[in-house]
Structure formats: C-alpha cells, structure tokens
Chains A and B, each alone.
Chain A
Amino acid sequence: MQPFTELTAIAAPLPLANVDTDKIIPARFLKTIKRSGLGKSLFAGLRYDEAGGERPEFVLNREPFRGAEILIAHENFGCGSSREHAPWALLDFGIRCVIAPSFADIFHGNCFKNGILPVVLPRSVCDQLMEDARLGANARITVDLGRQVVVRPNGEEIPFSIDPFRRHMLLNGLDEIGQTMQRTAAIDTYETARTSAKPWLPSIAV
C-alpha cells in the first residue's frame, strides 16, 4: 500500500449528503476481477449522461477539478454497500483524501486499506473548505497526516484526528495481513481454546 504522509492538491467540492457507494461506482462496473481501471467509472451516474457523454456541470468534468486529489463532501459519505470498488475507483481517478462531516463505517474502513485518508471535520468547516476549493488551482489545500492538520489556502490550520493504529499503518504504508501473520501463534492458541470450549461448533464440508 502506498503510504499517506502529506498531500497538497486541488480539492473538488461535492456538496451532497449521503453519497452512496452505488453513486460512487454503480453495480454494473463491479464485474471485474481486478482492482485497477475503475477510475473512468467513478461517479458514473453523475458524471455521464445516458449516451455516455460528460455532463459539463459535474465538478470532476471541469478544470481544474479533473486533476483533483482531494474530495470534499457532506454527511454520511460512502453509505450503502461494502464494495471496495468505491475506494478503488476514487484512487484510480487520483483521489487520495476525502473530507466530510461523517462517513459510513465500512467505506471509512476500506479507505485506510487503500492509502486513502478520510478526514472528519464539522459541516461548517467542510463548507468553508468547499468555498476555498471553488477558487480552483490557485487555492490548493494541504492535508498533513503526520501533524494531523488541514491547511487552508490562507494558511489557517485546522486540526483533525485519526486513530493512532490506523494513522501508523497509513503513514508507513503497512500491510495489515503481514502484521497479523506475525500474530499466528496467538491465533493458534485461540483456536485450540475455542475447540475445547465449543466442541459442538460444526465444520463446513460440502
């Protein structure tokens, strides 16, 4: 996983609440066995008309936001399905950070597994950052995970907070599975105790 340390980039404002995972990437694009190549289908329903042409009013179809690496949205971003295709699509498009007043739990967790930083800030701050973002390429926003601050174009610093464990994993680009594999002995011990405490637990064999 690519580490996330500090990012200074163009931010795209998406002033919508309850942006669901079907909106981020509709189910018809989930028929893939790969993680890559989903960026072109990101926000397909908002981004393209029924003939497949770009909707010029949609933010990611406009300059300079085509090059946005930060997305700012309203409450409950990423609600709905567990599809990791949602963060994969954001990442493939180039988005490395989403800022919103709140996130849905599964999407929030999925971001950390893919080097995307979800930042929770109050609605009023998100609205202020959207105003900054609308200024475009001359108003880049900085997200510093090490110091846990968002820096507005005017230099004002806004603190945010990330769970220490997740922050450590993201800053260092660590693979969770590799970390857990180092705890195999503890898992073995747990499994032995489980079998003696619940000998009735059935195995599945078809």
Chain B
Amino acid sequence: MSASHPRTLFDKIWDDHVVERLEDETCLLYIDRHLVHEVTSPQAFEGLRASGRRVRAPQSTIAVVDHNVPTSDRRNGIKEPESRLQVETLEENVAEFGVPFFPVLDPRQGIVHIIGPEQGISLPGMTIVCGDSHTSTHGAMGALAFGIGTSEVEHVLATQTLLQKPAKNMLVEVNGTLPPGCTAKDVVLAIIGKIGTAGGTGHVIEYAGPVIRALDMAGRLTVCNMSIEGGARAGLIAPDETTFDYIKGRPYAPKGEDFDRAVAYWKTLPSDPGAHYDTIVRIDGSEIAPMVTWGTSPEAVLPITGAVPDPADVADEAARAQMQRMLDYMGLTAGTKLTDIPVDVVFVGSCTNARIEDLRAAAAVARGRHVAENVRALIVPGSGLVKLQAEEEGLAQIFLDAGFEWREPGCSMCLAMNPDKLQPGQRCASTSNRNFEGRQGQGGRTHLVSPAMAAAAAVTGHLTDIRELV
C-alpha cells in the first residue's frame, strides 16, 4: 500500500481491499458486500453445488427477489411459471447456503439497489458487488460498487474476492447551481449526453462540484446509478455530512461508538488535493435543462425544449444509418418538437428513481391533476418500506386520486421481466435507466425522464416541460 502520493477516493478504496497483487496489475480484491438477486444467481449457486463449495461469508451477503416479481398482490404467489421457478430457486439456494434473505412478502423487500442504502447495508469505503450493472448506484455512499457477471457472482460467493485490474480515474465536475425544474436525473442524462454511452469505459467516475454536493442522497444515488449508461462500471461520490446523516440509525449501520469510529474512517476517504485523474470533464450545471431521450441509447438525449434530430445533419455514414434506425424504431420524424410527442404509458419506478424523494416529486405534479385520457400511469415504489412511507405521507392517495396505479415494489417495467410490459409500438415516459430497443417490452418505445417530468407527461398525455406546469 503506498500512501505517499495524493490518491483519489477510488485509489484509497482499492488499496484498502487488495488481498494480493498478481501479475500485470491484476489484484485479488476483497469484497465487503455481495448483493444477490434471482436472475443472475441460479447458475452461480449451481456451480458451488457442483464443486462442493460453500458460501465463504454469508454475513457479508444479502439476497432479495426483485426482477421477476409481479407488482400486483403477491400473497397468492407468482403465476408465471418461469418467474416462479427463479424465485423459488433463490429461496432454496439461500436456505441451503445460509444466505440472509428478504422474501417477497417481507416489508424490507425491494429493488436490490434501493434496499442496500436504505438498510445501511451499503456503507462508505466498502467494495460492493452484485450481478447487476446498476450496482454502480451504491457508489453514492462513497463505496466502490460495480456490476459483475454470474461467473464472478460464483467467485465472490466462494472466495469473497474478485480478480480485477484497477480502472482509470475520471472526474466529472458539475459546477454552478442547478436551475429550477432540474433534478439529479437531468444532471446524469446531461453528463451522458456529453461523454457518450462509452465515455466512461475503463474508468470509474467520481462526481464532484457544487451541484453534486448540493444533492441529497436520493439524487446522488440516481446519478451514480446511471454511471454504467455512460460506460463506467462504477460511479463514486465522496462521503460527507449528508452521507453520514443519511446512514445514522439505519438498521444495519454501525451504532453508538462504532458509528463514530466508522465516521472517523469515512472522513479519510475523499480524494486528496492534487490526486491524479486520467480524464476530467467539467459541466456548467446552470446550463442544464430538463432532459428527455429521443432514441434507443441513453446518449440520444436532448433538453425538452429541443426537437427530434435529423439524420441528414450527420456526416458519418454509419452514424447516420444508426440514427435513422433509432428514429424508425421510435416511430419519430426528424424536426418534431419533443413536447409534441404523445405517450401511452408512464412508468415511475426502478433503481434509478423509486425512492421516497422521487415519489414526492412525482406526487407534487400529480396533486390536484388527473392522468390524461388513454394514458396508463404506474407508480412502482422501490421497496416495501418506501411504499409504506408513501402511504403514511399521503402520496399514495394523491396518486390514486389522480388516476395512477399504485403497485407493489420491484424492478417492474424497467426491464419487463414481470407482467408489467409495454405492448409493441407503445410509447412510455419512464424514470428508468435504459431506452434500449425492447427494454420495456418487445417493440416498446422508451423516453427516459425525471420523476417530475414523467408525472407531467402523465397528466398532459405528451412529453412536457415540467417548468410550464409548476
């Protein structure tokens, strides 16, 4: 461990978790937290079983069902046989291997990336992995958190380590002050629009600057969540008083003197002055407007005041063909004002935007208004606890009065593995993270927006500049 030169937050967490340095910079890296869900784990547990291996550190592991679960009443089980099999397989695996588990009817059940921070399971300075690319979310706690494949899930279950090479450091600094109507979602969409969907490949992104500092934890989690949409396996935000206040008192967070000792350690984590970044990007936050995607890649994004771009303006032939393909899939014509695009469905949910703060933002728009005719609007809370809190705060009633569906927690229409899916050709304003072809259902068309923008589209029936509604 070399502490002599100035180090970034990423460097510090990395150095602190190296078990052994192997050839060509590859390190055996210790993993503090392993989050497990039903879709990417069955083959990993099967691998353990086949080789007679056990789970090395069950006390560092938490399992939950989220991807497949229906968001209607779950007391009578899951109807869809393949989804049911994956959920039952996880239930059997956690029982056999002694892994802590939140079952579907537990109020703590929810989207894996919502419940980690919510329960105090994800803490600053930790290495956190999960067989899911949106594990980058937990980086908002000041942790090194990244998605892994199923072979690596098995590797972590068996050894509590991973073989990794250090990533490059990228600094994304968002300066100035965010204008009214703009949220963390707009910030991260603007960042992806600038760096592109492969801009962060090979890097971890550290988000910094006054706009990031001013975000609450929900906003920071939203920003880090979409790091992978900019190509970065992990996003990080240095822990500060906002972080510590958020963690204090959470069920699995350190308590009393332990908490104080933990905070003392966490305060050593922020990047040193003069630390080296391989890539630096600076963005003027005061220039950001509410954002919306128009294509089938998260980088295909524009301010809501814009219009559908014209492939004829693109010089490169392959890029022009790709843009035309996006417009064909999305059923859009070049030059159409974004605010003239009608929607069929609105989805407020996902690991990106299903925390209580997101539901409050959507409810503030829905209050006293009604979902437009022919629009189906779903609110899917990120966890059972978020759902309960929203009901206590009266948000659920606001949504129901306004004609929204109030659902049970899960990944839902973010990736349409449960019954919540778009029909071919349907167009959705969605608070989720990916607008890939077919992501929300075969043939479905996705426009990524913030929770307030989604609620605005629900009540007007078309993509809407939230600033005109407030």
Contacts and interface: CB of A to CB of B under 8 A. Distances in A.
A33 B132 CA distance: 16
B214 interface: no
Interface in A66-120: 74-76, 79-84, 87, 102-106, 109-110, 113-114
A31 B68 contact: yes
11 contacts: A23-B437, A27-B417, A31-B83, A33-B42, A87-B149, A104-B231, A110-B151, A176-B155, A180-B159, A204-B62, A205-B59
Contacts of A110: 149, 151
Contact of B86 (A31, A74, A194): A31
A22 B434 contact: yes
Contacts of B253: 202
B198 A204 contact: no
Interface residues of B, number: 84
Interface in B6-41: 19-20, 22-24, 26, 28, 30, 32, 39-40
Interface in B409-447: 415-417, 424, 434, 436-439, 442-443
A80 B436 contact: yes
Interface majority SS (helix, strand, loop, mixed), chain A: loop
A82 B145 CA distance: 13
A30 B261 contact: no
B252 A187 contact: no
B453 to A, nearest CB: 23
B42 A27 contact: no
B265 A198 contact: yes
A104 B262 CA distance: 35
A33 B90 CA distance: 10
Given A79-B231, A200-B254, A206-B62, 12 more contacts: A27-B415, A27-B416, A28-B442, A30-B67, A31-B85, A33-B86, A79-B198, A82-B148, A176-B151, A181-B158, A198-B265, A200-B259
B222 interface: no
A79 B192 CA distance: 14
Given A76-B198, A104-B231, A165-B23, A83 B261 contact: no
Interface stretch (A10-18, A54-62, A152-160): A10-18
A189 B443 CA distance: 52
Contacts of B131: 82, 84
A206 B101 contact: yes
B431 to A, nearest CB: 18
A45 interface: yes
Contacts of A23: 436-438
Interface size class of A (residues with CB under 8 A): 35 or more
Given A80-B434, A109-B149, A177-B154, A27 B439 contact: yes
A28 to B, nearest CB: 7
A102 B147 contact: no
A33 B149 contact: no
Given A30-B39, A33-B43, A33-B89, A106 B28 contact: no
A27 B439 CA distance: 7
Interface in B143-196: 146-152, 154-155, 158-161, 163, 165, 167
Contacts of B353: none
B318 interface: yes
B438 to A, nearest CB: 5
A106 B148 CA distance: 7
Contacts of B43: 33-35, 84
B102 interface: yes
Contacts of A144: none
B202 interface: yes
Contacts of B89: 33
B24 A82 contact: no
Residue of A45, A190, A199 contacting most chain B CB atoms (<10 Å): A190
B201 A76 contact: yes
B151 A186 contact: no
Contacts of A35: 43, 150
